[in-house]
Amino acid sequence: MPTVPSVVDDALRAPISASSSRLRVGLGLLQGLMLYSLYFTGTLKIWPATQPLLFVPLLLLALFVPVAAISAIGHLSRRNLLRWLGLLLVMLCGLGLYDAWRADLSSWLAPTTNMTPYLPSKGLILLCVPGLFIAQAMVLAGNADNRRIASYPSYFEMAWKLLVQLKFSTLFTVLFWLVLYLGSALFALIKLDFLKQLIQHSWFNIPITTLAFSFALHLSDARPQIVAGIREFPSR
């Protein structure tokens, strides 16, 4: 039975401009640099890692905001994008502050340089991932329908699209690292170990991981055939 194209179908296939493409990849690299900076300060146990009320919100922002921005760029208008990211920033900062505050009051009342940096609790991460996934799907579907509350088909299609994109981006990143490890092993056979040494440095492997993930996320959005092909694969 032929299907009638919906508003969200058009949004899923909307062309992505070159400037949006560059911005997405740039955000992936920026996310990697932010995460490396937090990892570096946490390893050396220096500020802001010694201040849980600051470190935890910063870590949550670095983990989730760039991914949400990459997914929304090219679909939301600049005004709606800034509104959504601003709301997301406030929510993540609030959750991070509360999580750090309830963990150990004494650790931030009298911080020392020898303290162990506090990370977000597992419960918070497990709630943030599905919560932000649902919120992102609702925002994009509502924007596609040009309504605050979108139709059920729009929510369904947008949620499926995001889920496939995240799975594809994760698989792409894993395969990317497998290629790097294989390449380092092949170079080692001819007594060249520069690649093996390079991928062991956190200043390289953290930004390159986020860069690969952001590129895959953009690729799955710029080439809707990828999402369509993955969704149709089980039925073939």
Instruction: Please state, in angstroms and rounded to a whole number, the distance separating the CA atoms of residues 177 and 167.
Output: 16
Number of residues that make up the chain: 236
H/E stretch holding 230 reads helix 224-232
Which residue is listed with tokens 């609790």? Answer: 121
Burial-class residue 68 by CB neighbours within 10 Å (0-12, 13-18, 19+). Answer: buried
Half-sphere exposure (Cβ direction) of 2: Cα atoms closer than 13 Å: 2
Write out pLDDT tens, residues 153-183. Answer: 999 999 999 999 999 999 999 999 999 999 9
Q: What is the pLDDT of residues 114-158, one digit of tens each?
A: 455 678 988 999 999 999 999 999 999 999 999 989 999 999 999
d(CA 181, CA 132) in angstroms, rounded, equals: 32
pTM: 0.86
